[in-house]
Chains A and B, each alone.
Chain A
Amino acid sequence: MSNSAVNPVRRNARGEPTWLRVLLIATSLGFIGFMLVLPLVSVFVEALAKGLTPYFAAIIDPDALSAIRLTLFVAAIAVPCNLVFGLCAAWAIAKFDFYGKSVLITLIDLPFSVSPVISGLIYVLLFGAHGWLGPTLDHYGIKIIFTTSGLVLATIFVTFPFIARELIPLMQEQGNEEEEAAISLGASGFQTFLRVTLPNVAWGLLYGVLLCNARAMGEFGAVSVVSGHIRGLTNTMPLHVEILYNEYDFVGAFAVASLLALLALVTLVVKSLLEWKFGDRLAAGIKH
């Protein structure tokens, strides 16, 4: 997802008449304002509708706190796992030539075309009470569905493409020369990776981690399917929002939602900063 950043506006003397420009700009801004800004603002307004005290009370409510903890915990596992995967997949794909590369790349893009509910469904079908492996694992006391492990698995599935997709085009564009130079100078594979490759992809990596994290913390559909919806135990923040909303605790729901909205805003800001300052060192900066 690329930002246009500062692009030179073409001073085309044969351009559109001014009234048309104004109309288009106004309509676009109106559309954005209506569809995007309004909902965003409403989250915060509704959260603070009854004042600051109920707002903070909702956030430090024990169930809310454990939902926050669980969200952070799941992200703390899913993101590093996907980081390692992303680096491995990008290294294999970018540095080597082999048959089946495009199949691998397609597989990596798979979660993007699958509904979140289906992303959760597949784990229920595998580990659920009537799943393939469910009864067997249950026999050994290992429960996946309705526990944290299921949440982690579903989150990993939904978010693993982010880092890989960021690193692959970046590493492909950077080529192999610096790595070959390092090896000819006597570096081992690991030294080459650590000292030469990693610093070169650092900003792309950060960008990918950022997006991966935002999605991991905000995932709803997949997590909803595998979670037991047990308050205080297997509810992440988005699930907690759902519960509160369904109980008509609007202030509570919007209060927790506002935290997630803040996370989204922070993600957007950091993302824009990275694109602006390091655009040429991100996959988005590569012209195809």
Chain B
Amino acid sequence: MADAASSSRPRLSLRWKQPSVIPGFGITLGFALTYLSLIVLIPLAALLLRPVELGFGGFWAAISAPRVLASLKISFGCALIAAIINAFFGLMVAWVLVRYRFPMKRFVDALVDFPFALPTAVAGIALTGLYAPNGWLGQFLVPLGIKVAFTPLGIIVALTFIGLPFVVRTVQPVLQDLDPEFEDAAASLGATRGQAFLFVVLPSIAPALLTGFALAFARGVGEYGSVIFIAGNMPMVSEVAPLLIVTKLEQYDYAGAAAIAVVMLCASFLILLAVNRLQRRFSRHRERLT
């Protein structure tokens, strides 16, 4: 199925696709596009167009209802805090895995992917079991006044669990490829380890750290399964936006549910865009130095 060339007519040099001796372009691209349209594009269109039936006024009313705003605040707020926690500890874990040697390191390294592989519902009930007042950890924490289960704090714990692999796995390869020369240079110029870390290492891994943070954040905002068990789900207090969507669906308020979903999608999109911009600025800085 190779593309045949014409004998002597001059051809436009601007082509949509370069002719290739390798066959199968039409069929594979066709299938992929059809699949994507059926599975992704058409259903997404249904989502994006649904709030239209509310009209602008209706749409605005739907998403500015106090309960909706509260749920969005809780989802985004808890996801942000969890992502920050993960950024800190994730960096530490990545550092330790890349730079140090200790027993069972490979086991720990493999374990980092665990939240990624575990079904969210299982994570949900396990965490709830731990932090409930009579749970393994809850029994100690509640008497101290720290209520984790059925409060926003529980949501944060669940989202920290979920987001941990994202930061570690994005930072790890970058740390690994980091040229030791730069830190050695800093040391030879008199910098302490702390200074070397702050001024040499951190800027180099900042884009990766930011990416990991953004991924953990994005994942946390949309998280459902691991959150609904531990959250308590009280409207205005510990109800996350995905749960509110489900509730509205059960009430057949399709438009309302779609409206919230659209807001969430837009917000995630904007976050990813902003992170992309920041990343590009970071790498531009580095390019100027090299």
Contact = CB atoms under 8 A, between A and B. Distances in A.
A123 B43 contact: yes
Interface bin, chain B: 35 or more
Contact of A132 (B46, B136, B229): B46
Contact of B43 (A46, A122, A242): A122
Contacts of A217: 119
Contacts of A147: none
Nearest to A40: B114
Interface string B215-256: 000100111110001000000000000110110010010100
B20 A95 contact: yes
Contacts of B198: none
Interface string B17-36: 11011111101110111011
A37 B136 CA distance: 13
Contacts, number: 297
Summarize B's interface: helix, strand, loop or mixed.
Answer: helix
Given A96-B18, A122-B46, A238-B122, 20 more contacts: A3-B109, A4-B176, A14-B193, A32-B111, A36-B164, A46-B126, A88-B31, A92-B29, A96-B22, A104-B36, A113-B218, A122-B47, A129-B252, A132-B46, A160-B35, A176-B22, A189-B1, A192-B22, A219-B119, A221-B242
Interface string B112-131: 11111111111101110110
Interface of B: 1, 16-18, 20-25, 27-29, 31-33, 35-36, 39-44, 46-47, 50, 89, 92-93, 95-102, 106, 108-123, 125-127, 129-130, 136-137, 160-161, 164-165, 169, 172-173, 176-177, 180, 183-184, 187, 193, 218, 221-225, 229, 242-243, 245-246, 249, 252, 254, 257-258, 261, 264-265, 268-269, 272
A7 B176 contact: yes
Interface residues of A, number: 107
Top 9 closest A-B pairs, CB basis? A115-B222, A218-B119, A189-B23, A220-B225, A221-B224, A122-B43, A98-B17, A117-B242, A39-B126
